C-alpha cells in the first residue's frame, strides 16, 4: 500500500510541474458531475488540492485519493446514457473550449461501439468492439486479438474459429451495442459474431476482425462504420468502451474511488494522443481499464478512428494500434509471421481407389497372437453396417486393409470399429509428406465423407487407428502399403480440435503395454471405435456424427501367475472422454458420490473394465471379458473390503493396471 502511495505522490508532483493541477483547480469551480460520481463535493476537492502532499494524511486523505480526483476531473471516464455523454461541457481547461460541441457531433456514432460478450464461457464478456467496415451483406467489427482468443483460435489461413467448451459446446461471441447505465436490455441491438475473418498471430499487431449481420432495413437502430485516419501528436481524442474492474493490474482502492463500483457500462474517456515516430503503436492518456480492450480511439475534430486501444495501466499510460495498420489488415496487406503450416504445399486433391486396388489385402487376423484367437467384437444392436464389394461369407462387412480391418456404416458415414494387428518387433517408420486422402471404391462414394466436408478448420480427419502403428512389416513395401491404406476416408473419423489437444496418453497406450514386463512378446491386437450415445453434433449437413467418446481395447499375451510360462490372453479397455459416460456408468452402479462434484474438464483417458465398456458402448467383446486384469483387481479388493471405483484416470501410463 505504501508503494502505491509513493508512486501516486510522484505522479502528482509531475502533474503539478506541468500545470495540470492548476487547470484542475479551475475546473472544480464549475462543479463537474464526475465529482458526484466520486462521492465528493467541489469544496472538499478544492480543499485537498490546496493541501501540501505531505499534509494529506492529516487532512484525512491520501495521495491516491487526490490523484483519483485529479484524473477524474482532468481525464474523466464520462458516462454514456441514452446515447449522450454526460458532463461533456464541464471538461475544463485541459481541452479546447469547443470540445463539448465536438463530443455532441460524435454521439451519433457511439451506438456503433459495443461490448464483446461470450457464449458457453466462464467469462460473460471480455472487451469492446466497433464497426470498422461494411460489406455487401455484413458488417465487420474490430477488437483485440487477446479478446477474440478467449473463445477462438487462429487457423493457418489467418482467420479464427471458435473453440469448444469443457462441456463440448462451441464457444460463441456477440456484440451488445447498448449496455449503457440504466438501459434495459435490447435484443435488437445484440449481434452474433458469425466468425473472425482475421485473427492476428502472436507477433503481429493485437487485432481481430469479426463479421456480424447488418441490421434489418428499417430497424430502429442502425450501425455505421467509422472512418480511419492516422493521428498526430496532441490530437484531442476519446476512448469509448466498457471499463471493467481490473484489480490485478491496478490498485483496487483507487479504482473504487474513481469508478464508484460503476463498471461494465459504456463510457466516453477524453484525452490526448501521443505519437512517436518510427513505432507501429501510438500512445494516449485517456482513462482506461481492462474492459476497454478493443476500444476505438476517436479523434474529436473529424470523428475518425485513429487507433485501436490494446493495452494500458490506469494513471500510467495506454497503447493503441495505428489506423494505417488497421487499414492494412482490411486490405489484406498486413505483414504477418509465416508459420511452417503456411509454408507447406497446398493440400492435395482427393483421390479414389477402385475395388481392384485392394486385391490381396487380408485385413484383421483374429489368430495373430497364435496362442488364442481374438475375434472382432459384435457390434451394437441397430448399427447398420455396409457390405463392401469384395465381401466374403466369413467376413461379410469387413473392409480389409493391410494389417487392419474396418467395419463401416454408410448410414453414419463413419467407421464403427477398427481392428488392427500390431507387431512392435517389425516396426518400420514411414516419413509423412503432403498426404493425399482417398475414397474406397468398395463402398458407394455417397456413403463416404470427402475433403469438402472437412472445410471447417475446427474439425480434423482423425485416423481411427494410430497411423504410425500400422507402419510395420517384414519388408519396407509391406509397411508402406499399410501406411498408405490408412489414408482412406473409411478409416477417418471427424474429430474436433479439443480432442486432438488431449490425446498424448491415448496414443501411447499400445507402445507402453507392449514394452511392459507384465506382457509377453511384442504382438498385440487393438480394437478402436467411437461410442455413440445420440448427443453428438452433426458434421455440417452430412448426417455424420462427430464422436465425443472413443474406446480402445488392447489385447496381448501374458504369463499366468503361478505357472511355468503358461500364456493366456491379457486385455485392457480404455475410454477417451470428458467424463459424462463415466459418471453415468458409476451412477448406474449405485455410486452416488459421482453426482457430488464430478469434474468433467477436457478430454482424458480412463481405464475401465471391459464389461463396463460393453455396457456403455453396446459392443460384445466375448472372451476378452475374462482376460481383464482390472476386473480381477477390483473383484479381489471388493472381497477384502469396500469395493473401489472400477475406473482409473490415466494421468500417465504407469498408473495403468496390467
Cβ neighbors of 379 (< 8 A, separation 6 or more) are 385, 407, 416, 417, 618, 619
The alpha carbon of residue 323 and the mean position of all alpha carbons in its chain are separated, in whole angstroms, by 28
Q: Sign of the CA dihedral 212, 218, 223, 226?
A: positive
Q: Which of 284, 309, 463, 570 is catalytic?
A: 463
Q: Which set of grid coordinates corresponds to residue 6? A: 509513493
Ramachandran angles phi, psi of 343, nearest 5°: -80, -15
Residue 152, classed as helix, strand or coil, is strand
- The DSSP line for 544-587 is -B--S-EEEEEEEEEEPTTSSS-EEEEEEEEEEESSHHHHHHHH
Q: Is 188 helix (H, G, I), strand (E, B) or coil?
A: helix
The answer to whether the annotation marks 500 as part of a ligand binding site is yes
* Grid coordinates belonging to 235: 490530437
Cell matching residue 153: 483460435
HEC-encoded secondary structure of 274-294: ECCCCCCEEEECCCCCHHHCC
On the CB side of 543, CA atoms within 13 Å amount to 9
Residue 598: count other Cβ atoms within 10 Å of its Cβ.
Answer: 15
Is 172 within 8 Å of 196 (Cβ atoms)? no
**Up-side HSE of residue 417: CA atoms within 13 Å toward CB?**
28
Q: Which helix (H) or strand (E) element contains residue 218?
A: none
CB 177 within 8 A of CB 113: yes
Q: How far apart are CA 582 and CA 573, in angstroms?
A: 13
Q: Is 284 part of the annotated catalytic residue set?
A: no
Residue 610, C-beta contacts closer than 8 angstroms, at least 6 positions apart: 553, 571, 572, 573, 621, 624, 625, 627, 628, 631
d(CA 370, CA 569): 11
Does residue 99 come out as left (phi exceeding 0), alpha (psi in the -120 to 50 range) or beta? Answer: alpha
Write out the catalytic residue numbers. Answer: 463
Question: Where is the binding site for Mg(2+), in residues?
Answer: 500
Question: Where is the binding site, in residues?
Answer: 500
Amino acid at each position: 500500500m505504501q508503494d502505491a502511495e509513493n508512486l501516486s505522490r510522484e505522479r502528482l508532483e509531475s502533474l503539478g510541474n506541468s500545470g495540470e493541477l492548476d487547470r484542475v483547480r479551475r475546473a472544480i469551480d464549475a462543479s463537474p458531475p464526475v465529482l458526484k460520481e466520486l462521492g465528493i463535493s467541489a469544496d472538499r476537492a478544492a480543499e485537498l488540492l490546496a493541501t501540501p502532499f505531505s499534509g494529506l494524511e492529516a487532512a484525512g486523505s491520501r495521495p491516491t485519493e487526490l490523484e483519483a480526483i485529479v484524473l477524474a476531473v482532468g481525464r474523466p471516464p464520462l458516462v454514456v446514457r441514452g446515447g449522450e455523454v454526460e458532463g461533456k461541457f464541464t471538461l475544463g481547461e485541459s481541452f479546447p473550449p469547443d470540445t463539448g460541441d465536438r463530443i455532441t457531433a460524435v454521439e451519433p456514432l457511439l451506438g456503433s461501439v459495443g461490448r464483446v460478450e461470450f457464449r458457453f464461457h466462464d467469462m460473460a464478456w471480455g472487451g469492446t468492439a466497433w464497426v470498422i467496415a461494411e460489406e455487401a451483406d455484413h458488417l465487420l467489427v474490430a477488437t483485440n486479438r487477446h479478446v477474440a482468443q478467449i473463445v477462438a483460435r487462429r487457423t493457418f489461413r489467418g482467420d479464427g474459429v471458435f473453440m469448444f467448451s469443457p462441456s463440448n459446446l462451441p464457444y460463441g461471441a456477440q456484440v451488445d451495442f447498448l449496455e449503457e447505465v440504466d438501459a434495459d436490455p435490447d435484443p435488437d441491438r445484440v449481434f452474433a459474431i458469425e466468425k473472425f475473418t482475421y485473427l492476428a498471430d502472436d507477433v503481429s499487431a493485437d487485432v481481430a476482425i469479426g463479421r456480424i449481420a447488418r441490421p434489418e432495413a428499417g430497424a430502429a437502430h442502425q450501425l455505421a462504420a467509422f472512418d480511419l485516419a492516422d493521428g498526430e501528436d496532441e490530437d484531442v481524442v476519446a476512448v469509448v468502451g466498457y471499463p471493467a474492474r481490473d484489480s490485478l493490474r491496478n490498485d483496487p482502492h483507487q479504482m473504487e474511488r474513481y469508478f464508484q463500483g460503476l463498471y461494465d457500462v459504456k463510457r466516453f474517456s477524453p484525452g490526448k494522443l501521443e505519437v512517436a515516430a518510427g513505432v507501429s503503436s501510438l500512445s494516449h492518456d485517456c482513462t482506461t481499464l481492462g474492459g476497454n480492450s478493443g476500444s476505438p480511439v476517436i479523434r474529436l475534430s473529424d470523428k475518425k478512428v485513429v487507433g485501436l486501444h490494446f493495452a494500458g495501466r490506469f494513471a500510467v499510460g495506454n497503447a493503441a494500434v495505428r489506423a494505417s495498420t488497421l487499414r492494412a489488415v482490411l486490405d489484406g496487406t498486413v505483414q504477418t509471421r509465416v508459420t511452417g503450416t503456411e509454408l507447406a504445399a497446398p493440400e492435395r486433391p482427393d483421390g479414389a481407389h477402385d475395388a481392384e486396388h485392394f486385391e490381396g489385402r487380408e485385413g484383421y487376423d483374429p489368430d495373430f497372437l497364435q496362442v488364442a484367437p481374438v475375434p472382432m467384437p459384435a457390434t451394437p444392436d441397430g448399427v447398420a453396417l455396409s457390405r463392401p464389394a469384395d465381401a466374403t461369407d466369413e467376413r461379410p462387412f469387413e473392409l480389409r486393409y493391410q494389417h487392419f480391418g474396418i467395419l463401416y456404416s454408410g448410414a453414419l458415414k463413419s467407421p464403427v470399429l477398427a481392428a488392427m494387428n500390431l507387431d512392435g518387433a517389425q516396426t518400420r517408420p514411414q516419413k509423412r509428406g503432403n498426404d493425399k486422402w482417398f475414397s474406397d471404391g468398395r463402398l458407394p462414394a455417397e456413403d463416404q465423407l470427402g475433403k469438402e466436408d472437412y472445410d471447417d478448420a475446427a474439425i480434423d480427419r482423425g485416423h481411427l487407428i494410430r497411423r504410425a502403428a500400422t507402419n510395420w512389416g517384414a519388408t519396407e513395401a509391406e509397411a508402406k502399403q499399410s501406411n498408405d491404406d490408412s489414408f482412406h476416408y473409411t478409416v477417418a473419423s471427424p474429430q474436433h480440435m479439443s480432442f486432438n489437444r488431449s490425446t498424448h496418453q491415448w496414443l501411447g497406450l499400445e507402445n507402453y503395454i507392449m514394452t511392459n514386463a507384465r506382457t509377453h512378446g511384442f504382438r498385440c491386437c487393438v480394437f478402436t471405435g467411437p461410442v455413440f450415445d445420440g448427443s453428438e453434433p452433426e458434421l455440417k449437413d452430412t448426417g455424420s456424427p462427430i464422436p465425443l467418446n472413443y474406446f480402445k481395447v488392447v489385447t496381448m499375451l501374458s504369463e499366468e501367475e503361478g505357472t511355468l510360462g503358461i500364456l493366456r490372453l491379457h486385455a485392457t479397455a480404455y475410454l477417451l472422454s470428458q467424463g459424462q459416460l463415466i459418471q453415468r456408468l458409476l451412477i448406474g452402479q449405485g455410486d452416488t458420490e459421482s453426482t457430488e462434484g464430478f469434474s468433467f474438464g477436457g478430454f482424458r483417458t480412463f481405464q475401465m473394465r471391459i464389461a463396463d465398456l460393453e455396457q456403455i458402448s453396446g459392443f460384445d467383446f466375448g472372451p476378452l471379458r475374462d482376460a481383464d486384469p482390472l476386473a480381477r483387481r477390483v473383484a479381489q479388493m471388493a472381497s477384502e473390503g469396500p469395493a473401489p471405483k472400477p475406473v482409473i484416470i490415466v494421468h500417465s501410463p504407469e498408473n495403468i493396471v496390467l
